């Protein structure tokens, strides 16, 4: 199964996200979500790295998931009598 990864802009003078997205699509990488400074992609890490090639200012990172905090109230101490 292909993994999700985040391709993000790491430098201010990097290539546009449209150009990077075109490169990734040309190599068969699926783009799940596209934003101006970040792309969420699905595919093998090696394929994504190869597609990025020498794309100036873009880096690859695995997707991380953070669960939402518990909003259920907890009793810190019993009520005083």
Structure tokens of 26? Answer: 């040309």
Q: For residue 70, is it within any domain?
A: no
Domain count, the chain: 1
Confidence (pLDDT) at 2:
67
Q: For residue 79, is it within any domain?
A: no
CATH number at residue 47: 3.30.70.260
Q: What is the pLDDT of residues 29-47, one digit of tens each?
A: 999 999 989 999 999 899 9
Q: For residue 45, is it within any domain?
A: yes
| pTM of the entire predicted model | 0.74
Confidence (pLDDT) at 34:
93
Q: For residue 39, is it within any domain?
A: yes
Q: For residue 44, is it within any domain?
A: yes
Q: For residue 71, is it within any domain?
A: no
Q: Which domain holds residue 28?
A: 3-62
DSSP secondary structure string for all residues of 14-39: PPPHHHHHHHHHHTTPEEEEEETTEE
């Amino acid at each position: 199964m292909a993994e999700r990864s985040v391709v993000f802009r790491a430098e201010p003078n990097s290539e546009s996200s449209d150009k990077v997205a075109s490169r990734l699509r040309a190599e068969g990488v699926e783009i799940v979500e596209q934003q101006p400074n970040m792309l969420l992609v699905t595919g093998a890490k090696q394929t994504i790295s190869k597609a990025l090639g020498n794309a100036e200012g873009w880096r690859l990172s695995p997707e991380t998931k953070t669960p939402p905090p518990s909003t259920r109230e907890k009793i810190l101490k019993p009520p005083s009598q």
